[in-house]
Structure 1
């Protein structure tokens, strides 16, 4: 297999992993109705995925820097395949939570190894393409997953079977493909030591990494809104329980984010993070306004602006950090980025689910939007003052 073929295939596998992550969003109303679930149970199923993912990143995130990319990619895709099988046969909220935990572990294991492999397999004449794909693939995958599952949920006779059966086939194919992908990282000692939970940011990018934290946190909290909170808000606030509605909102947000990461390749990374944080703040305010004013059309404005903010924020972060580290440090770097991101995505979602049972869904949603806006505005302030952070923030 050529490196170009490997690049295309692993990029597709990376998208497929995120497609599977986006699939539950439009299915939430179906599970809610079929199993008579409370909002906190839905957000728990969403939140445990992110927690399992970040724990996997902590333990496995740097492993491919030691044993090579291919073994970790194959194992991660095989575990993802197992998660799809559990989803396929799930019959209660307990099985759904179990499937989400297994999926989180698989996604966490895949995130850093697939990202690093994509960067390293990128064509020599287009080295920036790898960083562009790693910035675009998560959002493109989430958008495709939401619209794919939303369409099947709306029109298929048994969407809870059809959706997962298709993904079983996709993950099986991805596992086989990864097994034949060219290896891009040589083995080095310390594999067992790398399994000790830790976060390792290379010294040369620590100042820059610290400066990106508010931007990354607000972007991933915004992802949590469209993946886990919007379907609940649509049902509880607006009485809209159609699976395609939540799927469209999520797919619009993530599709806009993916496009934003592609069309801004010429924008300096710091400026891109600045734009991203500002747009994320605006999208969060619009989301809060959607709920507070009962104005459903505002949700689409929130999806467009928030999605653009998510895409610009994540692209600006990866493009600023990746070129500054050595090849054997890339998986560890991506692990640190995803650790921050998924912690920001999972914990607030679980907290929001608990609060919804106390203060109600509308108040919880408005508060969630306000918190995102405040964190994003901190990102604007920090990113806009590079001299206060250090030399690295010019990247």
Structure 2
């Protein structure tokens, strides 16, 4: 199929918008598959941390530090990937991301030291960063005209859907296949390979002439008229994703202590439930207004942190599971409000950068607070560390929801 963009390119003219872009619901859903596959890599290591801890003998603080390497790789990529994808196109960012994901999966499968795990985690962060910026933007780009909010929903759901798939596969395969840290990453490599033809065939347009070009990477942001909305969304989204980050980094160890078992299926299943809840709530709540989504996200996150604080001293596995579900519901609601706002209001030429800004801000907090909670837990005990973390997140997300709701009213008026 030849488009106006192809014709302009062949004639040496700057690409111009296609009046009938080849977007459809079918391609929008196809574009979501590479995002799912890449995001699966983000949480696959979580159920296996207990295996690596036993094998390599590192502490809870080191465990959260390994998670922080993932965040470093993610944030470092987001700084450049968003604006780069807007300048040169989505595909040149996504293809190297897939290749580095394969390298990361191979490193996880063969890791025999903490530095090897840290490198694998860093590279997985680079892959996820590429897809949280250019991948989510590609899904929104391919949404049919007049359905950009649907594109934002599919992009957001593919993000948390992949985050749910990874730990479930990891937990089940590590218990059923020989080599608990090998089989799942061999499968992950195969899944990443299937994403290559989808990325290569997606009918994506090259950026307009005034957007394309070179330039130094810059701190990702949104167009000036939309920066206030981006910051208000971050006020709720960042604490909400931080709550799930704590469950990812310390949740498997916490469950192992409470259940007196190292069964990885239970840990992977818990993380799956968390992100399945985050996925499901987005489809259930898609008709709600953005302020309502932010209030809902904050309420659910506070409830999740309260439940988690009660779960540790009581040793209740049920409360841990409830806390995981509530945290997932909270993240899903806040994320839908934030990403939906960006995809419906920000032009495609700046959308990848805006997505990068949102996720970078969220993961910056999600990396810092769980690491602090890990070190605090080593020093004063898991119960005290969890309580301090839960109270901090509850305060931050409540303040963010108040600011976002007030700001939305002010903007509307």
TM-score using structure 2 length: 0.89
**Take 1:366 and 1:127, find their aligned partners in 2: how far apart are those partners?**
40
Q: 1:315 to 1:185 in 2, by over 3 A?
A: farther
- Is the Cα–Cα contact under 8 Å of residues 49 and 252 in structure 2 kept in the other structure? yes
- Is the 8 Å Cα contact of residues 237 and 362 (structure 1) preserved in structure 2? no
Q: Deviations over 1:290-349 (max 9, x none)?
A: 113322211122122221111111001111232111110101110110110111111222
Asked if residue 64 in structure 1 is aligned to residue 46 in structure 2, the reply is no
Aligned equivalent of 2:317: 296
Give the Å deviation of 1:7.
2.6
- The 10-residue stretch of structure 1 (112-121 or 183-192) with the greater mean CA deviation from structure 2: 183-192
Structure 2 unmatched runs, 5+: 2-21
1:80-133 CA-to-partner distances (Å, cap 9, x unmatched) read 122112222222221111101111112112211011110011233643321111
- After superposing on structure 2, the runs of 4+ consecutive aligned residues of structure 1 that deviate more than 6 Å are none
Identify the range of structure 1 (318-327 vs 2-11) with the bigger mean alpha-carbon deviation: 2-11
Q: How does 1:203-352 map to 2 (within 5 A)?
A: 203-236=224-257, 238-352=259-373
Q: Where in structure 2 are the equivalents of 1:1-395 lying within 5 Å?
A: 3-4=23-24, 5-124=26-145, 126-188=147-209, 191-193=213-215, 195-236=216-257, 238-386=259-407, 390-391=410-411
Structure 1 range deviating more: 324-333 or 168-177: 168-177
Give the number of the structure whose alpha-carbon radius of gyration is greater. 2
Aligned residues: CA RMSD: 2.0
Count how many residue pairs are aligned between Structure 1 and Structure 2. 391
CA distance in 2, matches of 1:271, 1:184: 35
**In 2: Cα distance, 1:320 partner to 1:260 partner:** 17
> Alpha-carbon deviation of 1:362?
2.5
Taking structure 1 as the reference length, the TM-score comes to 0.93
Residue range with higher mean Cα deviation, 56-65 or 236-245:
236-245
- Greater Cα offset, 335-344 or 237-246: 237-246
Distance between the aligned counterparts of 1:82 and 1:299, measured in 2?
A: 34
Rounded to whole Å, the distance in 2 between the matches of 1:305 and 1:357 is 26
For 2:198 and 2:159, how far apart are their aligned partners in 1? 20
Q: Which runs of 5+ in 1 are unaligned?
A: none
Pair 79,191 (structure 1): closer, same or farther in 2 beyond 3 Å: farther
Distance 1:312 1:185 in 2: 32
| Residue deviations 1:31-86 (CA, integer Å, cap 9, x gap) | 11122222122111111101210111012221011101111111211111221122
8 Å CA contact 1:233–1:362 kept in 2: the answer is no
SS at 1:122's partner residue? coil
Aligned partners of 2:88 and 2:213 also within 8 Å: yes
Q: For residues 333 and 383 of structure 1, do their structure 2 counterparts lie closer, same or farther at Cα, with a shift above 3 Å needed?
A: same
Assess, with a 3 A threshold, how the Cα gap between structure 1 residues 69 and 285 changes in structure 2: closer, same or farther.
same
- Within 1, Cα distance between the matches of 2:109 and 2:314? 39
**Matches of 2:405 and 2:145, distance apart in 1:** 33
User: How far apart are residue 273 of structure 1 and its match?
Assistant: 1.1
Displacement of 1:191 = 4.3
1:50–1:343: 8 Å Cα contact kept in structure 2? yes
